[in-house]
Amino acid sequence: MKQDGMEIHRNGMDIVQRLMAQKMVGQVPLKALSYESSKVKEVLPTEILNVSTKDDQADTLYLLEDDTFLHVEYQTTVKKHDSFRFAGYVMGLYNKYKDDKRISKFTFNTVVIYAPHIRRGTVNSLFDIGAIQYRFTPIFLNEVHQQKSYIEIIDKIRLNPNVELTEEEKMIILYRPLFNKNKEDIERDTILVVKDIQEMADELEKAKLTGTLFVLVKKYLSDSGQKRIWEVLKEMDIIKEEMEGIIKKNLEELLILALKSGDFQTAIKQLVKEGKLNQAEVEEIYRKAEEN
């Protein structure tokens, strides 16, 4: 989306969810989605070496405080061989960390978070070819119910606009509109959440949450719905710098990955166009890639 010179990357929803994951150390990472686990000890790198495709990188890997692994994928599509791909990630991640002396046991649990438009009946969560069997836990955002928790958080903000929210509470706020099955309800709740966020006193936090929410739900909003939120965002000058920085950082990471894979000509042309990186920035990214 482009409004008055600002572009939102087409993979903005996935980018935002991965960025949210990076902040979950010391938290129950998927509590906002009603999935209980031990707290996060560390968010681990997910790059897998010696893979057969250019795209083989898991979305998020947590090392939990009970020394088990929680592997999380964010899906906006359903494809026939998804379970095979996820199983491959787990095998690759096991191989990556199998000699890490910090880790006492190697138990992997995979959770796949499905976007609101995806229904349970379309997903096969089992990969079974006899010699190898792998199962993941699907979470369908349209089936999550956190209305009570959301109301409690907003009431806390209204009682004390200076309250500091936990990352778990922020996730409940940000995901709240996505706990719906259709676009109309998502848009209705998005407008409600944007209004509730404005009750906060911290201008930076308010801007970050509003901008993050916008990127997270943008693909489900009508033009008029996007315009309403954009009008709020335009009043916050700080949001442009914050969101453009987030998006550019992720574009740089994607470009470095593409350069490493050898497909840099196409990557440069596409990512420079989408990210509005200039030639000097491209040269700097290329230098970083060579150093790595």
pLDDT at 290 over 80: no
Distance, in Å, from the CA atom of 79 to the CA atom of 280, rounded to the nearest integer, reads 39
pLDDT in tens, 155-200: 999 999 999 999 999 999 999 999 999 999 999 999 999 999 999 9
User: Are residue 154 and residue 80 in the same domain, yes or no?
Assistant: no
53 pLDDT above the threshold of 50 = no
How many Cβ atoms are within 10 Å of 279's Cβ, its own excluded? 8
Contact between residue 195 and residue 231 where contact means Cβ atoms under 8 Å apart: no
Per-residue pLDDT averaged across 48-61, rounded? 62
Check pLDDT > 50 for residue 139: yes
pLDDT confidence band for 112 (50 / 70 / 90): very high
3-state helix, strand and coil shares in percent for the chain, rounded to the nearest 5:
55, 15, 35
Of 13 and 42, the one with more pLDDT: 42
One domain, residues 75 and 90: yes
Q: Which region among 34-38, 138-142, 242-246 has the lowest average model confidence (pLDDT)?
A: 242-246
Q: Can you give the pLDDT at residue 2?
A: 47
133 and 151 assigned to the same domain: no
Please tell me whether residues 187 and 128 are part of one structural domain: no
Host domain of residue 211 = 2-12+144-235
Q: Domain for residue 21, yes or no?
A: no
pTM of the model: 0.72
More confidently predicted of 280 and 76 = 76
Distances (CA, A) of 118 to 36, 76, 90: 22, 7, 23
Q: How far is CA 75 from CA 72, 86, 159, 203, in A?
A: 10, 11, 36, 32
Q: Tell me, yes or no, whether 281 lies in a domain.
A: yes
Q: What angle do CA 280, 285, 291 make, to 5 degrees?
A: 130
Residue 139 shares a structural domain with residue 151: no
